Chain A
């Protein structure tokens, strides 16, 4: 029986004794890009942290390949699960190669000389993220997009089958956002499982295979993108009126949000907002 790479069963977690979500059930399917979306403070970042063992769950369990992460040694988890948190801290003066080397930590013993496997993993990570040319540059001299790719390279050097990313595109300009998202699609095509927290629903609609929509600590809807990203969902979860059409180039749902000043063509198209 094959397990789902990541599963959350009836989990409750929060900060300082106050739960952010209670008894949540989530399944992340293998080889897909799953997007976790929702308004601010819905619990999506908290959920990601709980799934990556950065935050212990108060009750329930998080299963990684069928095993409870609470009882799995953290090093073993590190070989299967890579995480890119929001706004990672860049220590001063470190070069790209040195940073990506850190990704080999779970695989290296104490005092072990660098192996060919290590070097290959790093090289592969650099090439995949297109950061090979930046290898000797200090990380803090790079642009936002380049830096984000370097952090992804670090996670890739871990050679995990699953990757969790917390809002990796938030502070990037448009071109860099696309670089990162296109890279994630490449990785998915290679068979990796990717869970990504996104606050831009449009990006989720375009790039994700599965969407999990959360609000107030509950999962409102979860499933294939086309089924989840609907006009009702936008109203229920985000509290906005929208029209959804099919993207003429990609076929994925295209979200057109309607504000107070946007009048639809005919009254028949108008969706009224329930107060």
Chain B
């Protein structure tokens, strides 16, 4: 029986306001966390010094603190910026194209695939140099993602949501075992390869110079994918009815995500959960419109990565906890909480 209320259309003004507030909050957080990243560490440096060093780079010659800020921490922070943005955007894209809120570059095994390819290239082909790594990482990431998607379609009797996640987990298990096997014969160099299985920001800042073109390409491409993702999210049939060539669009979109993951992994090794959490937080702030979610997820990804890194540096003792371990520790409860939501699981 009709005659009820017409559906409430979201007030455009309220939405725009929410977005701006969200953006403002995220930017403030970003600045705070970035300053923390520059200030905190084995040697805590006052924010005042940090700011002065940023304003006057020549200070590095005269002040040890300023040198630490500019030569060590600033590149590290910039690396986190690059990697966080790549992973955040990749997370949104992967979730949108698979229509699965539980995936990102880590869950699908994309990053591990990239890492394995690079390790194999180093060990068996003697490859060196971050920009060379990138191409192998791209190949590894692409093959792994394709395999995982195919694998998930072959598994029976399980909901699609769960099937994709399981396939990713199985692939990750295999790849992790592969890395262990490749490096086990030569454990004296495990430390050298450590960051290919345990993603980290320390000592990796040098890769920015060679990898930034790939990362920026990916980021720029991602920013244009918003409307395509919106349409793909309506389902294959509806998208086709609207005139989109669905398989082609899916391939194109996924390629960008794989590119982003490969760039990030070539720089730091596999860092998980940044895409997952970043995408969800972005959606909370901005809604499901992918034209907005992608840039916001990039921002959130950066904030998350920097925060995890800073937390890792605050660990007791001399050392620090690698950033991928921190993101896993924080990201796991998030993932588990997501998995427990009933609406999600009843696929």
Mark A residues whose CB is within 8 Å of B.
89, 91-92, 239
A98 to chain B, nearest CB (A): 16
Report chain A residues within 8 Å CB of B157: 89, 91-92
Report chain B residues within 8 Å CB of A239: 1
Q: Is B14 an interface residue (CB 8 A)?
A: no
Closest to B342 in A: A16
**Assembly CA distance A92 to B158 (angstroms):** 12
Q: Is B188 an interface residue (CB 8 A)?
A: no
Report chain B residues within 8 Å CB of A91: 157
Find residues 224-264 in chain B having any chain A CB closer than 8 Å to their own CB.
none
Mark B residues whose CB is within 8 Å of A.
1, 156-157
Closest to B1 in A: A239
Report chain A residues within 8 Å CB of B156: 92
Closest to A93 in B: B156
Closest to A92 in B: B156
Closest to B156 in A: A92
A237 to chain B, nearest CB (A): 13
B343 to chain A, nearest CB (A): 12
Closest to A89 in B: B157
B4 to chain A, nearest CB (A): 13
Report chain A residues within 8 Å CB of B1: 239
**Assembly CA distance A92 to B156 (angstroms):** 8
A170 to chain B, nearest CB (A): 19
**Assembly CA distance A92 to B1 (angstroms):** 42
**Assembly CA distance A101 to B157 (angstroms):** 21
**Assembly CA distance A239 to B157 (angstroms):** 39
Report chain B residues within 8 Å CB of A89: 157
A45 to chain B, nearest CB (A): 16
A102 to chain B, nearest CB (A): 16
Closest to A140 in B: B156
A/B interface sample: 5 pairs, CB < 8 A = A89-B157, A91-B157, A92-B156, A92-B157, A239-B1
Report chain B residues within 8 Å CB of A92: 156-157
B243 to chain A, nearest CB (A): 31
Closest to B3 in A: A275
A47 to chain B, nearest CB (A): 21
B154 to chain A, nearest CB (A): 12
A250 to chain B, nearest CB (A): 32
**Assembly CA distance A89 to B156 (angstroms):** 11
**Assembly CA distance A170 to B283 (angstroms):** 38
B341 to chain A, nearest CB (A): 13
A83 to chain B, nearest CB (A): 21
Closest to A90 in B: B157
**Assembly CA distance A239 to B3 (angstroms):** 14
B80 to chain A, nearest CB (A): 42
B130 to chain A, nearest CB (A): 46
B158 to chain A, nearest CB (A): 11
Closest to A16 in B: B342
A42 to chain B, nearest CB (A): 15
**Assembly CA distance A92 to B154 (angstroms):** 12
**Assembly CA distance A91 to B157 (angstroms):** 7
**Assembly CA distance A91 to B1 (angstroms):** 40
**Assembly CA distance A83 to B25 (angstroms):** 55
**Assembly CA distance A91 to B156 (angstroms):** 9
**Assembly CA distance A89 to B159 (angstroms):** 12
Closest to A239 in B: B1
A100 to chain B, nearest CB (A): 20
B2 to chain A, nearest CB (A): 12
Shortest 5 CB-CB contacts between residues of A and residues of B: A92-B156, A239-B1, A92-B157, A91-B157, A89-B157
**Assembly CA distance A92 to B155 (angstroms):** 11
**Assembly CA distance A89 to B157 (angstroms):** 8
A86 to chain B, nearest CB (A): 14
B37 to chain A, nearest CB (A): 44
**Assembly CA distance A89 to B1 (angstroms):** 34
B281 to chain A, nearest CB (A): 27
A194 to chain B, nearest CB (A): 30
B106 to chain A, nearest CB (A): 30
A251 to chain B, nearest CB (A): 33
B134 to chain A, nearest CB (A): 42
A99 to chain B, nearest CB (A): 15
**Assembly CA distance A253 to B1 (angstroms):** 26
B64 to chain A, nearest CB (A): 61
**Assembly CA distance A200 to B156 (angstroms):** 32
B215 to chain A, nearest CB (A): 44
B160 to chain A, nearest CB (A): 15
**Assembly CA distance A57 to B157 (angstroms):** 30
B346 to chain A, nearest CB (A): 12
A141 to chain B, nearest CB (A): 14
**Assembly CA distance A5 to B206 (angstroms):** 79
